[in-house]
Structure 1
Amino acid sequence: MSYLGKEYYLESQENFEAFLDTFGPDAPEAFKKAMLNQKAFLKLVKNGDSYTLFTNSVDNTTKELTFKSGVEFDEQLRGNACKTTITVDGNVVTQVQKFDNGVVITIKREFTDNQLVATITMSQWDGVAKRIYKA
């Protein structure tokens, strides 16, 4: 798990704008533009039997999400409640977010020593988005 503790920075994205478009009026144009132009980073740290996922938001504040692998918890995303489960399996970290309206978003993050590929799918969308990060 040599990827633990490394910072990964967004280098490119594929079909991410189409993914953001699926949110319609729930994602205003200014928010979508900020997400598309953000200097995103991600870092995963292990603390005993828990993990902390560090990311930055569109306003460049650092967000910390502490979790236990495979254990569901409550999360708030832009004012929307969801049940989230994050599972760590070797170099693959899979996050599943289940919203009250039935929407399910899955983010599969595959880490290597120098790259992170985040593949994003959603139950109400037949597309696939990717965000590629470099260590």
Structure 2
Amino acid sequence: MATLACRIGDKKVAMSPLEPNNYINYQRMEDTLTVVRQRLNRPLTLSEKILYGHLDDPANQDIIRGVSYLKLRPDRVACHDATAQMALLQFMLAGMPTTAAPTTVHGDHLIEAQVGAVKDLARAIEVNHEVYDFLSTVSAKVGVYAPSQL
């Protein structure tokens, strides 16, 4: 049987079903990790691979465990409804027209489990409608997937 060798960056993987044209750049991650491995000259833990794979400038970044502040380029930013309000307010104050990375707001922290999924969700929407309206409105302005879209 013949085998097919595939480089990491050869295959495009969509960020999510909602974003079929937004791809994860695995080749950039692998290139970044190659630089970090050469600099540290040791194997990397899974956590290090996740963090260091997203370094903005792996060749010049100080990498001292417990000391360095890492400048990262995340593939995605995920917020939950309880903290997204403040994050979106700060984003608006920054005056940026859209987010730099794909961003989503997940509306699940303001739902209290009491009776069952359908009734609990309906109650959360009623009780927290002001929060959800704000999140949906601001999210639509800056290109963030809001709770109602997920």
TM class by shorter chain equals under 0.3
Between structures 1 and 2, the one with greater helix share: 2
| TM-score normalised by L of structure 1 | 0.21
